[in-house]
Amino acid sequence: MALPSTLKKSIQSQALNLLQTGSRFKAFDQVRQRHFWSDLCFLPNVNGYIPSGTYKAFITPSGQVGQGFPVALTELETNWKSANRVPDNQNFEVLEVGITVMGLPDMTITGANPSTSRIRPAARQQAGILTSSILAIQYLTNEVPIGLCNDFQQASGPQMGGYEPGYVINPAIRTDDPAVVLPPPAPTTSPALRYITNGFAAPGLRRRFKIPILMQHGETFSFNINIPRTFYYGPQTVVFNDVDYTNGYVMRIDFWATESFVEKS
């Protein structure tokens, strides 16, 4: 059955527009602002060091395994829906970028009761993480360093504290150093209930770019964490109350952007 002449002309017009302009959309006429994030999981090697290298974020979408995680990512780890590129129906004006250091999610803790809290990086560990890492943005082949990760930590500043009863199970200093004598553990019958963070995400309050980062639809990109030199973090496991906990940290890269898009979503 032949197509009606009006429908056939419409299809031919759409095909010609796509071939001539490279886009099947007439205009990105809808605008909104949103917060996007992507997490990287870092685990020390057998000697307790975080290896040097380049670690890419925004390359593994939700539902797939990657970015250092042993299981599939969920929206807790990333809300980016495309792999290593800007979706075809969206453009972004990136206004600010942030870095947050967090503890491992419960899924990477071995042998732990679900009610126990995750291990948090200590203050000294956070300083080592942020000053030993560089944030960069990479396009197809060109990588541009933006600055030290320490320059992009959250606007709310460092915070730490604890809930009683509780005890620190991840010391801020190396325990294998014979010159360091640690005090005996305080008696407790509960799991460690402390929290330490380099701040809480506060989009709109962080340092804003005077010249925004512009990313157009279909563009290949990733935010990279570059570690030029290995640095000591801590042993692979931490024992508390005869339970082995996986040691490590999660680094969240997020950005606040104005978005133009076509589809109503």
Domain ranges of the chain: 28-261
State the pLDDT at residue 217: 85
Rg (CA), the chain: 23
**Which position has the token pair 């995400």?**
201
Mean pLDDT, consecutive 10-residue stretches, the chain (265 aa), reads: 69 67 66 89 90 93 89 88 84 87 65 49 82 90 88 63 47 50 50 52 64 86 93 81 76 89 68
In angstroms, the CA 52 to CA 40 distance is: 14
Question: Sign of torsion, CA 28 29 30 35?
Answer: positive
Question: Sign of torsion, CA 255 256 258 263?
Answer: positive
State the pLDDT at residue 18: 62
In angstroms, the CA 138 to CA 247 distance is: 29
CA atoms within 13 A on the CB side of 16: 6
CB atoms near residue 48 (< 10 Å): 15
The residues with which 91 forms a beta bridge, in sequence order, are 260
Q: Pairing mode, if any, of strands 159-162 and 49-50? A: unpaired
Q: Which run of H or of E encompasses 222?
A: strand 222-227
State the pLDDT at residue 210: 82
State the pLDDT at residue 19: 66
The per-residue b/e assignment along 150-170, b for 16 or more CB within 10 angstroms, e otherwise, is: bebbbbeeeeeeeeeebbbbb
State the pLDDT at residue 108: 45
Cβ-count burial of 179 within 10 angstroms (0-12 exposed, 13-18 middle, 19+ buried)? exposed
SS3 content of the chain, % helix, strand, coil (to 5): 10, 35, 55
